[in-house]
Structures are given as structure tokens and as C-alpha cells.
Amino acid sequence: MKTLRLLMTVLPILFIAWSGEAQAQQRLQFTGLAVENQGLRAFNRFGPPPAQIGHALNPLVCGCTNAYYFIETRPNIGVHGTAIVSGFAPLQAALQKTGKTMAQIKIRVPPMSLGLDRNGQEWRVEGQRETRTYRGVYPHAGFYTVSLDNEAIMLGATPDMTLTIDNGVLPQDHRDDRLSAVSLYSMPAKKDWPLSIAGNAIADAILASLGNFGWRLNFTDIQPSIGQFQYQEPAGQPRVEPPVYPPVRVDGAYFNCPTVLVETSYPATTVKAAITALTQPACGQRNGSLTLQITNGRPPFTVWSEGGIIREVQFPERQRVFADLPARDQYQILVRDALGNTAGVEKRFPPLPCPK
């Protein structure tokens, strides 16, 4: 698709929130400007094993050969200029109390891919319109992060993102194309490590502002222009799964995000997750365990962990005990409900005094 080979000049993004009492839309404005090394990038990876390249495109419609298989932020989206904040009263109060501003808050979304890239499932074409669904890359890139002054204060399971491309009437001319994208809903959680006083206050305020309502990314009115990149990934240093050992060529494009708003779900049914019991494994043993409690959302639930310690499993109950876990300094658990909405939770252990 020609527009995903090109730099976007306008990319409004909405992260929308609904208040429980007034049912009024809450918004936080973000931006991601390419000139500030922010916004989005889309790319393919060429070379064994195996190449990760998006499906073939109709050159008569889009003027290029393949869809981009991956999208991610580069490295984040933040605030440029005057931020618009509507609602999120606890967050506004915390910003004022800590002397911080919206410009100091950033969101980073890790690589998302087309997965099996199947026609009719991950993507479909109807006339001049193509839709694609991108999902966080399992198992090492499933979390987005929220940071304050480069301090990671929150994380969440990356929700699926559906990209819509309305190809224009002029073949091989990107300027009349229109793109939009919207994610499913996600409930973030506070990072389980010592935070700064301001970081702790801002994270708590975001959660208080959300309540039982998750948030989503909503990109609208994407207007692309030219801008591409190519580089060589070094051997043995893969960016994404599956592991790639020979050098790999990466081709992609950067995207501007001049307007980014943060919105929440309505009604308050976004899935939430908590670790209610935890047993730390002994040195060198696989005898750890944790109890996961899920509230809201629609069963069955799909659960897995960052790094693959808990392999992907699906179940209908709202509480599940995971046993035989190996020793780690942290567990990061991701949950997806039947509607595709997500939640993430993290628990850290103090270092074990294991003999070396």
C-alpha cells in the first residue's frame, strides 16, 4: 500500500475516555512529530530465517508491492506545544501538585505485526478500501509503556490495532489516500518498582481518572507524504521475534502524529487483572507460583507472560493459579478477553541471595 511506504503529514490520534458519572468524553492530547524522532514507523524485514514481509498488494490500486508487516512508535508519542486536557480531573490535579506538565508524559508502543497475515482475517480488501489488524508481537513485545521524564511509570498489554486504508482514485499517487486506525481497549497498571514521588503520583492519578474504564488509541485523518528508511540489522541482535541471526535488511517509512488524544471505553467493562498471591521460586528451582485475578471483561480469557515464562493459555474462569514457575526478578502478565480488550500487570521480586 503506497501510503505505508510514505511519511504521514497529518495523523490525529485519539486516546478517548468516558467518565462513569457524567458519561462525558475525556481526552488527553499527544503528538509524535517525525522531526523530533517521534510518531510511528512501519517496516518489513528481509532475509532468513524467515523473512517477515507483508502480503502482496495490487500495484494498480496502491502503486507498491507489499504491505508493511510491522508498526511501532519511534520511540514514543508525547506532547508538542499546548496540550488539550478534557476530563481526567485527578491527573490534572496531580500535574499541578507535582509541577509537571503533559509535555513530560510519553507513550511508547512496541512492535505490532500482521501475525499470520491471512486474507479475510488479518487483512481484507473491499473495493478501494483495505483493513489490517496488527497485534503486539508475542512473546517479547507485548507491553506498551507510559513514562514521565523518561521514567517508566505504567505498562499495559498492547491492544489490537485495526488500520483502514482508503486508497484514492489516482493510482500510484499517495496524496489522495486516507488512513485511519483504532485500537481495542486496554487497562494499564503501575510499574512494580520504586517510582519517584512525581511518577507515583501521576501513575495513581491516571488510574484514578480511568476507574473501570480502559483507554484506546484512535488515529484519524492520516495524510501521507514521502519519507522512507532502510538499514541493516546486525547479526544476533534481532528487534522482534522470531530470533534472526544473519544480518537482515529492514525497509520502512516514518509517520508524523501531529495530534494525539487519549480516550476511554464506555461502558465500564474493560478487563482488569491483578496478581493476588505470589510465591518466589527457590534458587535454581521451578517451584514458584502466582494467582491471577481477572475482573470485568468477557470470558474466555487468553493469558501469557512477557518472555514466554507462561505460555499462551485460554480459560473461562476469573481466577487461575500458575505453578512451576522459574526464578525471575519479575513477572509481566498479559490478559486478553473474548472481545480483544487487554490488561497487563507486573510483579517484581527482591533479588535472591543465590550462591554463584
pLDDT > 90 fraction of the chain, expressed in percent and rounded = 32
**Tens digit of each residue's pLDDT (9 = 90 or more) over 93-104:** 999 999 999 889
pLDDT in the model for residue 75: 75
Q: Which residue has the cell 485495526?
A: 162
Q: Does residue 290 sit in the same domain as residue 257?
A: no
Which of 217-226, 299-308, 345-354 is predicted least confidently? 217-226
Work out the angle at residue 142's Cα, subtended by the Cα atoms of residues 139 and 143, and round it to the nearest 5 degrees. Answer: 145
Q: How far apart are the first and last CA of the chain?
A: 54
191 in a domain, yes or no? Answer: yes
Q: What confidence score (pLDDT) does residue 1 get?
A: 47
Q: What is the pLDDT of residue 308?
A: 66
Mean pLDDT (the chain) is 80
Would residue 355 count as lying in a domain? Answer: no
Report the pLDDT value the prediction gives residue 254, as an integer from 0 to 100. Answer: 78
pLDDT tens across 129-168, in order? 899 999 987 554 588 999 999 999 999 999 999 998 887 7
Give the contacts of 303 (CB within 8 A, at least 6 positions apart): 292, 310, 312, 313, 314, 315, 320, 333, 334, 335, 336
Are 327 and 229 in the same domain?
A: no
- Residue 5 predicted with pLDDT over 50: no
Number of structural domains (the chain) is 2
CA distance 68 to 45: 9
Residue 28 lies in a domain: yes
What is the model's pLDDT at position 223?
A: 57
In a domain, 354, yes or no: no
* 288 — pLDDT class (breaks 50, 70, 90): confident
Lowest-pLDDT range, 2-11, 26-35, 87-96, 205-214?
Answer: 2-11
Paired sense of beta strands 85-86 and 272-279, if any: unpaired
Domain check: are 219 and 282 in the same one?
A: no
- CATH number for the domain spanning 307: value is 2.60.40.10
Length reported for the chain: 356
Q: How high is the pLDDT of residue 22? A: 41
Q: What is the per-residue pLDDT across 10-58, written as a single tens digit (0 to 9) for each?
A: 334 444 443 333 446 788 888 777 777 777 788 898 876 667 899 998 7
Residue 86: CB atoms within 10 Å: 16
- Last-in-domain residue among 247, 264, 281: 264
Contacts of 120 (CB under 8 A, 6+ apart): none
Q: How many whole angstroms separate alpha carbon 200 and alpha carbon 109?
A: 21
171 and 294 share a domain? no
CA separation for the pair 101, 105 (Å, rounded): 8
Of 264, 289, 318, which marks where a domain is finished? 264
Give the predicted TM-score (pTM) of the model: 0.83
Q: Does some domain include residue 243? A: yes
Do 73 and 154 lie in a common domain? Answer: yes
Both 244 and 332 in one domain: the answer is no
Domain final position from 238, 264, 290: 264
pLDDT at position 147: 94
Domain membership of residue 153 as a residue range: 2-264
Most confident range (mean pLDDT) of 221-225, 255-259, 301-305 is 301-305
* Number of helical (H) and strand (E) elements in the chain, helices listed first: 3, 29
Cis (ω within 30 of 0) for the bond into 242? yes
Higher pLDDT, 268 or 96: 96
Looking at per-residue pLDDT, the higher value among 347 and 306 belongs to: 347
